[in-house]
Amino acid sequence: MRQLKGKIWVFGDDIDTDAIIPARHLNTSVPRELALHCMEDADPTFAEKVGEGDIIVAGGNFGCGSSREHAPIAIKAAKVACVIAESFARIFYRNAINIGLPILECPEAVREAKEGHEVAVDLARGLVSNVTLQRTYNAVAFPEFMQAIIGAGGLIDFVKEGLEEGSRHG
């Protein structure tokens, strides 16, 4: 599983799916369109400022609210490499894994993070390193099968790979 490194954008607790992708933009499911409005109700200029490979850091209960898959899709389509939070709403957590958006729970890293810090993430080992502060934290690492789902780009691509592999050996 790959290593990630990027600038962080910090958000607080209870960032709900409406803040991630407001309901007024749910007339599309096109990822690049959703990316234009990513985090719009939490930070109206986020989509303009975020760079490819940047990382969102947030407090507790990130992704609470509705079960819409549009929220993690918008984040992934905005080229955010990873979300690190104190905790995630369970449905957001599952939706993120299903679409291949890497997420990590790491409360200590969140508490010490400041906007603009650079962070390196080792998804396989569950390590978050704040490069700016020269501190490393232990996050909750995913089991291998979940790492494989994320590495494949999501559950659908993971299943397709398995079917293709099976047909080559079957």
Per-residue pLDDT tens for 63-99? 999 888 999 999 999 999 999 999 999 999 999 999 9
Tell me how far apart the alpha carbons of residues 18 and 131 are, in angstroms, rounded to a whole number.
31
Q: What is the phi/psi pair of residue 88, to 5°?
A: -120, 145
Helix (H/G/I), strand (E/B), else coil: 124: coil
Among the listed residues 124, 119, 121, the one whose alpha carbon sits nearest the alpha carbon of residue 134: 119
Can you tell me whether residue 148 is helix, strand or coil?
A: helix
**Model confidence over 8-67: pLDDT tens digits?**
999 999 999 999 999 999 888 899 999 999 999 999 999 999 999 999 999 999 999 988
pLDDT tens for residues 15-30? 999 999 999 998 888 9
Look at residue 68 and give its three-state secondary structure.
coil
Q: Residue 67 in contact with residue 95, Cβ under 8 Å? A: yes
Q: Identify the pLDDT of residue 66.
A: 86
